[in-house]
């Protein structure tokens, strides 16, 4: 703690000292962008930015022409909120609620569909279980609804795509950033880029973070390093090379147990684990090469190859319930269990796309033809903690939980190989200036071979699926779109991590997702987009245990329907906003042994609000204000434990010292609200942070 305190004092002292430096130009305050590039066509069909809605179509499509709800968090907003992890950024996206991820991974609910694997980087799968940083990310996109045509398996409720920073030809930059918060956590980051002649550009992003918060014993550190190169191979060809190394080590914090119908109160800082044993350690290497070529005549293509290697280990003692042993109405004992798990994964992905933009008989087309192949090798093992030969134990509630001695016993081990081959085609047809349709389909072949070492059980399963997509866009004027769409996706019975097939899952067909959506998008100005949509998402073929026979069958069905609205961009040159609201209503529609018809879906708040705004009073001073609201939600399908509704208010102040130096202060949970934003079942509930202040400095050459 002394080391943390010294570092905090040093960084804070440096930051406050810079505030007395003389201001330079009146226009020192940089422009802020809360939307990703152009959102409407600004001239000819091919004159708009290719990075607007392209992640939703794999074609150069402006956001306003995508018949689907898409939320984006830009680099400017990430910096204004001074957030460094994907987990924190997604809290401001309505329709997305956070699962606690067992204290060692990103895990989300998108429109009520839970996933640990629907994460992508530049459109390619990044499905290992770990916390994803933002130091090398240009923006975060949340594409809602079934997305099989673009992303393949999974993505039933939506997909989360990170767009990487890349080297820009002719650009030179040197940016350094540092921040420290009131708990002693701090981060250092650098973003350096330089041209090498006229045809090559290099860029390196790096960061070092140390974690801390109000929770007892919590700490950790993160190291990230990501170089990238852009090479112009003639006027029509560009090669982008990227490598990322992420090294994350932190305490595995599983949160607090429940008592009665809600979180156990009065223990928000108590660590229900073993400070020496609860640890998560991840190393991730991701190397990617993308080649883009313009063939002329409206035809372009790209080829991407990505290799990823993930080495993950975590161990934890886990709270599994609090009890009242003396019947006085107060919890006095906590039940504990524990285990450790290791996973080695290698992903090799190849993807190729051809895009043609042209006309046939006066009808405009944007045609996509693509293919993707993937091989994924996974070795996984898990050992269980035994307390005197038992899988669980009890310990008295106290400020420091006593953990009895335990031994480890092998629980399971497996090896698997997943191979997929996919082909897809899509046509965005412009029938008239005011009417567009989008039709397409993806064909996936899926082969999983696994061996359960402990059970000595080898199994293989092959599936093939055709996933259609259709949409219509009506444009009364260039900056206004009315749309309706239908899309499908699927998830093989082995689940989203594909580690091992069991004697049951090898017999089951994939789950299916179907989304109907209708909405409106309006751009009252070039840098502002308002959207609204209604939707219905049906999930079927979900494995469930038959209450009569005890067999696992494919009868599980659920439905989520709702409404969402958003406003993102610049209301004026001084006021920048990202506002959103989502209403969700979801329930189980087929009875199983664990959930009856009408059971509400887990961690599905009916109402969600995510709001952030920045106003620049002068060229040198600005102020930010944000809020996150979630109504009450059930922690699990049991519907026994409720996470109470909450509203968290954040604030920020920005001061531009000069055209090179700026300082900002961010305050999370300004009103010091007690809240529990996420859970992993009924007894791993994560308390929210109390009031936390963070000060940061940014230097740019």
CA distance readout (Å), 653 to 12, 169, 329, 671: 15, 33, 46, 16
| 440 token code pair | 């397409």
Which of the residue ranges 24-28, 312-316, 578-582 would you say has the lowest mean pLDDT?
24-28
Alpha-carbon distance of 637 to 591, in angstroms, equals: 12
Residue 548 pLDDT exceeds 60: no
What percent of the chain is predicted at pLDDT more than 70? 92
Predicted pLDDT at 52: 46
In which band, very low, low, confident or very high, does the pLDDT at 3 lie, cut at 50, 70 and 90? very low
In which band, very low, low, confident or very high, does the pLDDT at 31 lie, cut at 50, 70 and 90? confident
Predicted pLDDT at 302: 96
Alpha-carbon distance of 208 to 188, in angstroms, equals: 5
Residue 534 pLDDT exceeds 50: yes
In which band, very low, low, confident or very high, does the pLDDT at 43 lie, cut at 50, 70 and 90? very low
Helices (H), 86-228: 86-90, 148-151
Alpha-carbon distance of 633 to 604, in angstroms, equals: 6
Predicted pLDDT at 179: 98
| 332 token code pair | 């006095």
Which residue's entry shows tokens 């090179």? 660
Query: Domain 2-700 has what CATH class?
Result: mainly beta
Mind listing the pLDDT tens digit for each residue in 443-498?
999 999 999 998 899 999 999 999 999 999 999 999 999 999 999 999 887 778 88
Residue 617 pLDDT exceeds 60: yes
Mind listing the pLDDT tens digit for each residue in 168-199?
999 999 999 999 999 999 999 999 999 999 99
Predicted pLDDT at 397: 96
Which residues fall within 8 angstroms of residue 389, CB to CB, at 6 or more apart? none
Region 315-343: what's the mean pLDDT? Answer: 95
Which residue's entry shows tokens 């906590």? 334
Which residues fall within 8 angstroms of residue 659, CB to CB, at 6 or more apart? 24, 25, 28
What does the mean pLDDT of the chain come to? 90
Which of the residue ranges 48-62, 411-425, 520-534 would you say has the lowest mean pLDDT?
48-62
Predicted pLDDT at 155: 82
Residue 552 pLDDT exceeds 70: no
Predicted pLDDT at 549: 56
Predicted pLDDT at 555: 66
Residue 4 pLDDT exceeds 70: no
| 510 token code pair | 């994939």
| 673 token code pair | 């609200």
Predicted pLDDT at 597: 86
In which band, very low, low, confident or very high, does the pLDDT at 51 lie, cut at 50, 70 and 90? very low
Would you call 354 exposed, middle or buried from its count of C-beta atoms within 10 A (0-12, 13-18, 19+)? middle
């Amino acid at each position: 703690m002394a080391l943390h305190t010294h570092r905090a004092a040093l960084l804070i002292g440096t930051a406050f000292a810079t505030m007395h430096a003389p201001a330079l130009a009146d226009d020192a305050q940089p422009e802020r962008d809360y939307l990703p590039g152009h959102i409407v066509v600004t001239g000819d069909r091919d004159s708009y930015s290719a990075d607007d809605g392209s992640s939703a179509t794999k074609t150069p499509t402006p956001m306003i022409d995508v018949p689907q709800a898409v939320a984006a968090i830009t680099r400017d907003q990430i910096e204004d909120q001074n957030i460094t992890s994907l987990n924190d950024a997604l809290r401001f996206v309505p329709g997305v609620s956070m699962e606690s991820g067992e204290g060692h991974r990103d895990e989300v609910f998108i429109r009520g569909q839970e996933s640990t694997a629907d994460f992508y980087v530049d459109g390619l799968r990044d499905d290992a279980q770990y916390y994803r940083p933002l130091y090398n990310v240009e923006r975060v996109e949340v594409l809602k609804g079934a997305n099989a045509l673009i992303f393949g398996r999974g993505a039933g409720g939506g997909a989360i795509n990170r767009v990487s920073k890349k080297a820009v030809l002719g650009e030179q930059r040197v940016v350094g950033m540092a921040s420290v918060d009131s708990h002693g956590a701090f981060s250092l980051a650098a973003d350096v880029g330089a041209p090498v002649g006229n045809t090559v550009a290099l860029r390196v992003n790096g960061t070092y973070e140390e974690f801390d918060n109000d929770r007892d014993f919590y700490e950790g550190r993160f190291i990230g390093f990501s170089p990238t190169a852009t090479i112009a191979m003639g006027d029509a060809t560009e090669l982008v090379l990227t490598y990322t190394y992420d090294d994350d080590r932190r305490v595995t914090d599983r949160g607090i147990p429940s008592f009665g119908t809600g979180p156990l109160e009065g223990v928000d800082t108590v660590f229900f684990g073993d400070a020496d044993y609860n640890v998560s350690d991840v190393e991730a290497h991701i190397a990617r090469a993308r080649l883009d070529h313009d063939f002329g005549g409206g035809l372009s293509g790209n080829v991407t190859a990505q290799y990823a290697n993930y080495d993950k280990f975590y161990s934890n003692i886990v709270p599994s319930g609090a009890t009242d042993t003396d019947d006085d109405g107060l919890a006095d004992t906590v039940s504990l269990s524990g285990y450790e798990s290791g996973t080695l994964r290698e992903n090799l992905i190849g993807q190729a796309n051809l895009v043609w933009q042209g006309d046939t008989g006066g009808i405009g087309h944007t045609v996509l033809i693509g293919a993707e192949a993937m091989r994924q090798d996974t070795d996984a093992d898990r050992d269980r903690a035994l307390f005197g030969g038992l899988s669980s134990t009890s310990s008295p509630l106290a400020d420091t939980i006593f953990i009895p001695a335990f031994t480890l016993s092998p629980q399971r081990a497996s090896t698997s190989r997943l191979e997929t081959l996919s082909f897809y085609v899509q046509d965005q047809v412009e029938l008239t200036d005011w009417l567009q349709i989008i039709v397409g389909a993806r064909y996936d072949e899926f082969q999983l071979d696994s061996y359960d070492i402990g059970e000595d059980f080898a199994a293989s399963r092959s599936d093939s699926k055709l996933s259609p997509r259709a949409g219509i866009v009506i444009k009364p004027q260039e900056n206004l779109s009315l749309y309706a769409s239908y899309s499908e996706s699927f998830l093989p019975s082995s689940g989203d991590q594909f580690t091992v097939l069991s004697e049951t899952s090898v017999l089951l067909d994939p789950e299916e997702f179907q989304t109907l959506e209708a909405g409106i998008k309006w751009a009252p100005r070039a840098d502002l987009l308002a959207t609204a949509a209604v939707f219905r998402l049906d999930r079927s073929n979900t494995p469930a245990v038959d209450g009569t026979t005890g067999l696992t069958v494919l009868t599980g069905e659920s439905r989520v329907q709702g409404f969402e609205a958003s406003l993102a961009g610049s209301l004026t040159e001084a006021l920048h906003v990202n506002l959103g609201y989502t209403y969700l209503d979801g329930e189980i529609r087929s009875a199983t042994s664990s959930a009856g018809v009408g059971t509400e879906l887990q961690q599905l708040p009916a109402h969600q609000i995510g709001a952030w705004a920045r106003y620049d009073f002068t060229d040198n001073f600005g102020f930010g204000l944000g809020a996150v609201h979630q109504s009450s939600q059930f922690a699990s399908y049991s519907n026994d434990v409720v996470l109470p509704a909450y509203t968290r208010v954040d604030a920020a102040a920005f001061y531009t010292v000069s055209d090179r130096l700026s300082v900002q202060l961010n305050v999370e949970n300004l009103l010091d609200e007690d809240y529990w934003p996420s859970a992993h079942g009924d007894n791993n509930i994560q308390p929210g942070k109390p009031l936390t202040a963070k000060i940061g400095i940014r230097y740019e050459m």
